């Protein structure tokens, strides 16, 4: 870009011949190097290179773009790592106390790098510029006068909010995004992240059914406890179906503290209880999917080996590669959008909803065993569907 005719027409620069890579290049003035650019990831090597010079006037800057990845935002370890990099490494790369640091990022959590700066954890004379997706007259009145007149006041919602850039982000689309996932929207779009506590999963966002649509596919999802002590989680098996309306339905569930061989018997009995089907209204159970870890690994192997009176049960393991909070945050938008439906009446549904509503970011909730297989079902049937099951029923 910097060597294009268009760029040089605005900023005539001469690039040194000794280094022209995207990550490292220098500018030449009067035959001498007069500065340059060094680009590296936040976790890359920055020692040995300083921004700016020990001289008066403008001498360069440190520009940091998106120092925290979205996938690390729900991990306290990931957030802490990004914050440590800012404080321990980036700050020391200033050649002069006057060398500015510019951080450009979307807000992802209250204690993300911007939150660290705003709370005083990264000392300095910082100026914060927030550009939310939905703005109102109060926000516009705080802008410089020469900017206020350029704001396009498009259609407003009932709270008097309008899009900051209606040509690119129409109000209707922004409101739909906000309704789908308020936590993500408040951070990434409004730059005001909400605290992650309880209330991540809202019980009133589940759809409710009394009559089922035609079910195109059914699977059993299982989560087994490591131990059966009083304080440990339960083992859970859930039957989920994909409806012809493209929503998923929790059809049945069992939950208890079982050790082998009772754990295997419970899993097989649950499968057999739902084996029968009428192809006019439902589909056969296609698989039993269990977390491939701890007691789940042994259960997968036991069921795969079969046994007297068991019949054939296609069983497969599920590898969960991210932490529980990240997995929940990745799928909660499907719940908020009404794509996940539970019974209006069932003996277990009240406890299921209570556990979902109690789920917290800091792990202070008592149990979350019913949440894991639900997340697996959402991932399997909604987020990453393997097939168009309507061809098979």
DSSP 95-155: SSTT--EEEE----STTSHHHHHHTTSS-S--------SEE-HHHHHTS-HHHHTT-----
Q: Is there a single domain that holds both residue 260 and residue 167?
A: no
Using CA atoms, how far residue 287 sits from 218, 245, 299, in Å, is 8, 21, 14
pLDDT at residue 308, as a whole number: 60
Over 50: is that where the pLDDT of 392 sits?
A: no
Q: Which pLDDT tens digit goes with each residue over 105-146?
A: 999 888 899 999 998 998 889 999 999 999 998 888 888 999
Which residue segment(s) compose the domain that 165 sits in?
134-189
Q: Is there a single domain that holds both residue 244 and residue 338?
A: yes
Residue 147 contacts by C-beta under 8 Å, 6 or more apart in sequence? none
Over 70: is that where the pLDDT of 230 sits?
A: no
Residue for token pair 């790592």: 81
CATH code for the domain in which residue 251 is found: 3.30.420.240
Whether the Cβ atoms of residue 375 and residue 242 lie closer than 8 Å to each other:
no
| Tokens of residue 359, six digits | 């789920």
Radius of gyration of the chain (CA): 27
| Tokens of residue 144, six digits | 């410089």
pLDDT at residue 183, as a whole number: 79
Enclosing H/E stretch for 38 = strand 32-38
Lowest mean pLDDT among 80-89, 300-309, 353-362: 300-309
Q: Is there a single domain that holds both residue 343 and residue 216?
A: yes
The CB-side HSE value for 228 (13 A sphere, CA atoms) comes to 11
User: Which of these, 349, 357, 264, 356, lies nearest to 313 by C-alpha position?
Assistant: 264
Q: Is there a single domain that holds both residue 213 and residue 164?
A: no
Among 118, 142, 170, the domain-final residue is: 118
Q: Is there a single domain that holds both residue 229 and residue 274?
A: yes
Q: Is there a single domain that holds both residue 292 and residue 218?
A: yes
pLDDT at residue 138, as a whole number: 84
Among 91, 118, 145, the domain-final residue is: 118
3-state secondary structure of 342: strand
**Beta pairing partners, 220:** 239, 288
pLDDT at residue 48, as a whole number: 67
For the chain, what is the domain count? 3
Q: Is there a single domain that holds both residue 63 and residue 107?
A: yes
Distance CA 345, CA 310 (A): 31
Over 70: is that where the pLDDT of 325 sits?
A: yes
Q: Which CB contacts under 8 angstroms, 24+ apart, belong to 80-89?
A: 82/42, 82/112, 82/113, 83/111, 83/112, 83/113, 83/116, 83/121, 83/122, 85/42, 85/43, 86/113, 86/116, 86/117, 86/122, 87/116, 87/121, 87/122, 89/46, 89/47
Q: Is residue 228 part of a domain?
A: yes
β-pair type (14-20, 101-104): unpaired
């Amino acid at each position: 870009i910097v060597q294009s005719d268009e760029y040089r027409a605005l900023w005539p620069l001469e690039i040194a011949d000794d280094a022209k890579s995207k990550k490292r290049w220098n500018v030449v003035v009067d035959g001498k190097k007069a500065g340059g650019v060094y680009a590296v990831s936040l976790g890359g090597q920055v020692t040995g290179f300083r921004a700016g010079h020990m001289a008066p006037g403008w001498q360069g800057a440190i520009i940091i773009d998106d120092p925290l990845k979205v996938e690390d935002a729900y991990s306290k370890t990931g957030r802490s790592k990004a914050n440590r990099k800012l404080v321990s490494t980036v700050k020391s790369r200033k050649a002069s106390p006057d060398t500015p640091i510019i951080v450009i990022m979307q807000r992802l959590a209250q204690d993300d790098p911007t939150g660290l700066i705003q709370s005083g954890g990264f000392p300095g004379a910082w100026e914060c510029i927030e550009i939310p997706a939905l703005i109102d007259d109060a926000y516009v009145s705080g802008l410089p006068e020469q900017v206020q007149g350029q704001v396009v006041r498009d259609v407003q919602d009932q709270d008097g909010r309008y899009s900051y850039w209606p040509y690119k982000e129409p109000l209707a689309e922004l409101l739909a995004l906000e309704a789908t996932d308020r936590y993500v929207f408040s951070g990434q779009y409004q730059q005001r992240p909400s605290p992650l506590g309880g209330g991540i999963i809202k019980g009133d966002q589940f759809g409710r059914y009394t009559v089922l649509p035609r079910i195109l596919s059914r699977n059993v999802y299982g989560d087994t406890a490591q131990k059966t002590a009083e304080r440990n989680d339960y083992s859970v098996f859930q039957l989920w179906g994909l409806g012809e309306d493209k929503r998923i339905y929790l059809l049945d569930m069992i939950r208890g503290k079982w050790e082998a061989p009772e754990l295997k018997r419970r899993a097989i009995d649950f499968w057999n209880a739902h084996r029968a089907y009428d192809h006019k209204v439902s589909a056969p159970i296609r698989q039993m999917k269990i977390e491939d870890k701890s007691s789940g690994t042994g259960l997968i192997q036991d069921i795969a080996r079969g046994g007297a009176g068991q019949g054939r049960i296609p069983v497969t393991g599920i590898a969960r590669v991210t932490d529980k909070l990240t997995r929940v945050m990745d799928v909660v938008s499907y719940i908020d959008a009404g794509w996940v439906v539970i019974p209006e009446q069932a003996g277990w549904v009240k406890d299921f909803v209570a556990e979902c509503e109690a789920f917290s970011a800091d792990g202070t909730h008592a149990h979350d065993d019913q949440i894991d297989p639900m997340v697996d079902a959402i991932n399997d049937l909604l987020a990453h569907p393997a097939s168009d099951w309507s061809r098979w029923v």
